[in-house]
């Protein structure tokens, strides 16, 4: 009982360690993923905002090129309608909120909203930095609250020149809400927020309404007086948003109070140079701890299942060890009792081998008779050719005889198949060439029996996956058997058929002999079965079948409908078709 309790304690300790590690690693992974998300979003958002600001910056310069502005500024009544309509067209095509022209006093003399009740015409904006900076000859991008609309906007301005003299200012306003509402382009999501902080610390733009025009830092009295004096925010006093920073696994976190609780964010920042501002994207990670629960649950399930499987396997292993012990005891007893039998069996096997070798030696004449007959024929022909002085033809016959001698050696070597298996060397070889080699050996037997051979045209591309020497032995054996079977027939015809399918080759050897007796069809390939009363051991077809089987092929035989026998050899065309 104590041992069982100790096992449970160890198992629980391992599980607890795994859960702590999984929680720590999973939390770190989620925080890093959120940090990467923040970086990607702030990069996309900054690029979008920079592009839009650059586009709006170019519009005031476009307006200053209008020749009617100079006359309008010198004489308010002249060309006013044309300029107002022109500004209205610019406003609609650009997507700006308002476009207007001011004289050197800061009075608005033309505006895109001239036909509306809240038209800017007649208003004086000389106190705005975008006005007096432009009068000083500088282009300006400036954030402020609208004097009449009280809406947040970005103002772009540029001086109007007459020669080298500045005679007025063109100003363009874009409502900040345009950027905040375009969530698709800003790549915002439900778990991420953004805000744009100006150089004075005020949040000018944000996806959270309660953060707008407020600040994340405390202002000193001097900073607050300066903020009020420039009137960018009119009478609005920014409020401090409660925040504090913390760190989790080397990642800095920003904690912002929302309603009554603090929300934890990872953040990424990017500068907006045209506004001298900083864009910040926040990704909510407040629930990062809770998000580990599914992982911990499945880890626990996996761990428990592993323990159960381990317990089952160990139980079976313990039983298996007992079984092995019993088996080992029995095996020792069996080994002792069979030692004597093995010694006796070795003597019997040796005797059987010697008997088989003797029978094979007696059948050598049957196996090599055909190449010897062919050699005799070619030697007689060579003598006659030498007597006639045709030395070249005689040399060709001698070369053929030399090849047949080598073939006899190979065939004799193959007769050791029953006493000592030889290593088979398989490769893809041309069926046409193999058939030619076999016919060369069997040619003398065919001529002796006056067999008519119907040749077959086989493409050189037709290959079989065999050991060439052994396969030629099979062909010679089947062809000479067919020749001997047709010796006493009136019609003596040997033919071949070829069929290809699914990467395999079926090659058939057909004769017009008496065929195979019905009772012999099932035993023709068995060792020592022979239909010849005076010659042969009955090993030829048995060895042939074993050779074809070693090639992963098949050798079968059956009788033809019109008389005669058909031997079919089915082989793979290459190694991949086995």
The pLDDT of 407-426, averaged and rounded, is 60
Both structure tokens of 353: 């081998």
This prediction's pTM: 0.51
Classify domain 421-577 by CATH number: 3.30.565.10
The structural domains of the chain, with segments of one domain joined by +, span 1-288, 292-362, 421-577
Both structure tokens of 425: 């060397």
Q: For residue 290, what pLDDT is reported?
A: 87
Name the helix (H) or strand (E) containing 500.
strand 493-501
CATH code 3.40.50.2000 for 1-288: no
The pLDDT of 249-259, averaged and rounded, is 86
Give the whole-number percent of the chain exceeding pLDDT 90: 28
Number of other CB atoms surrounding residue 507 within 10 Å: 23
Q: For residue 342, what pLDDT is reported?
A: 57
Number of other CB atoms surrounding residue 272 within 10 Å: 20
Q: For residue 186, what pLDDT is reported?
A: 54
pLDDT, greater one: 443 or 90? 90
Q: For residue 202, what pLDDT is reported?
A: 93
Q: For residue 311, what pLDDT is reported?
A: 85
Terminal Cα distance for the chain, rounded: 60
- β strands within 309-389, DSSP E: none
Number of other CB atoms surrounding residue 432 within 10 Å: 16
**Mean pLDDT in the chain?**
83
- β strands within 73-151, DSSP E: 98-103, 108-111, 140-145
Which of these ranges, 176-180, 203-207, 289-293, 538-542, has the smallest mean pLDDT? 538-542
Q: Give 3-14 pLDDT, tens digit per residue.
A: 557 878 888 889
Distances (CA, A) of 183 to 187, 193, 209, 273, 306: 6, 10, 14, 22, 47
Q: For residue 353, what pLDDT is reported?
A: 39
The pLDDT of 348-353, averaged and rounded, is 40
Contacts 24+ apart (CB under 8 A), 329-337: none
Contacts 24+ apart (CB under 8 A), 18-27: 18/299, 18/303, 19/296, 19/299, 19/300, 22/292, 22/295, 22/296, 22/299, 23/292, 23/295, 23/296, 24/249, 26/291, 26/292, 26/295, 26/296, 27/248, 27/249, 27/288, 27/289, 27/292
Helices within 388-520 (DSSP H only) = 391-414, 431-448, 468-485
Q: For residue 352, what pLDDT is reported?
A: 37
Q: For residue 196, what pLDDT is reported?
A: 93
pLDDT, greater one: 258 or 569? 569
Place of tokens 């009020």: 228
Q: Give 44-85 pLDDT, tens digit per residue.
A: 888 888 888 889 988 998 888 887 887 788 776 667 888 999
Whether the predicted pLDDT of 356 surpasses 70: no
Name the helix (H) or strand (E) containing 270.
strand 261-272
């Amino acid at each position: 009982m104590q041992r069982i309790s100790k096992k449970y304690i160890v198992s629980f300790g391992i599980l607890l360690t795994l859960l702590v590690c999984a929680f720590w690693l999973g939390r770190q992974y989620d925080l890093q993923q959120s940090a990467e998300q923040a970086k990607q979003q702030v990069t996309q958002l900054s690029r979008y905002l920079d592009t839009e600001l650059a586009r709006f910056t170019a519009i005031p310069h476009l307006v200053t090129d209008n020749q009617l502005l100079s006359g309008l500024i010198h004489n308010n009544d002249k060309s006013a309608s044309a300029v107002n309509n022109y500004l209205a067209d610019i406003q609609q095509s650009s997507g700006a909120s308002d476009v207007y022209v001011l004289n050197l006093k800061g009075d608005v003399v033309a505006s895109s909203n001239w036909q509306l009740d809240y038209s800017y015409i007649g208003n004086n904006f000389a106190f705005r930095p975008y006005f007096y900076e432009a009068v000083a000859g500088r282009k300006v991008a400036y954030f402020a609250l609208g004097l009449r609309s009280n809406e947040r906007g970005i103002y772009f301005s540029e001086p109007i020149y007459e020669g080298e003299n500045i005679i007025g200012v063109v100003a363009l306003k874009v409502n900040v809400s345009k950027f905040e509402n375009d969530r698709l382009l800003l790549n915002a999501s439900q778990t991420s927020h953004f805000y744009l902080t100006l150089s004075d610390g005020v949040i000018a733009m944000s996806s959270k309404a309660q953060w707008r025009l407020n600040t994340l830092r405390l202002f000193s009295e001097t900073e607050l007086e300066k903020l009020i004096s420039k009137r960018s925010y009119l009478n609005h006093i920014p409020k401090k948003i409660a925040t504090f920073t913390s760190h989790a696994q080397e990642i800095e976190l920003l904690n912002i109070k929302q309603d009554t609780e603090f929300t934890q964010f990872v953040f990424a920042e990017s500068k907006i140079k045209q506004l001298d501002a900083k864009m910040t994207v926040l990704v909510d990670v407040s629930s990062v701890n809770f998000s580990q629960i599914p992982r911990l649950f499945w880890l626990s399930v996996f761990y428990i299942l592993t323990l159960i499987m381990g317990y089952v396997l160990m139980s079976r292993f313990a039983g298996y060890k007992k079984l092995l012990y019993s088996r080992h005891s029995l095996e020792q007893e069996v080994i002792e009792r069979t030692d004597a039998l093995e010694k006796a069996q070795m003597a019997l096997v040796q005797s059987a081998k010697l008997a088989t070798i003797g029978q094979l030696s007696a059948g050598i004449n049957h196996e090599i008779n055909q190449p010897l007959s062919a050699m005799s024929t070619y030697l007689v022909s060579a003598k006659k050719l030498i007597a006639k002085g045709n030395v070249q033809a005689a040399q060709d016959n001698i070369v053929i005889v030399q090849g047949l001698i080598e073939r006899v050696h190979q065939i004799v070597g193959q007769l050791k198949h029953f006493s000592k298996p030889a290593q088979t060397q398989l490769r893809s070889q041309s069926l046409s060439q193999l058939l030619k080699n076999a016919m060369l050996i069997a040619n003398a037997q065919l001529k002796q029996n006056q067999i008519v051979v119907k040749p077959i045209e086989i493409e050189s591309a037709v290959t079989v996956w065999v050991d060439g020497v052994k396969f030629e032995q099979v062909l010679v054996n089947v062809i000479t058997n067919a020749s001997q079977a047709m010796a006493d027939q009136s019609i003596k015809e040997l033919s071949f058929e070829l069929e290809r399918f699914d990467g395999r080759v079926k090659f058939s050897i057909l004769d017009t002999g008496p065929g195979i007796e019905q009772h012999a069809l099932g035993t023709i390939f068995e060792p020592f079965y022979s239909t010849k009363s005076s010659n042969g051991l009955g090993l030829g077809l048995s060895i042939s079948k074993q050779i074809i089987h070693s090639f992963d092929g098949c050798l079968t035989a059956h009788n033809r409908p019109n008389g005669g026998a058909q031997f079919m050899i089915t082989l793979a065309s290459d190694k991949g078709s086995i």
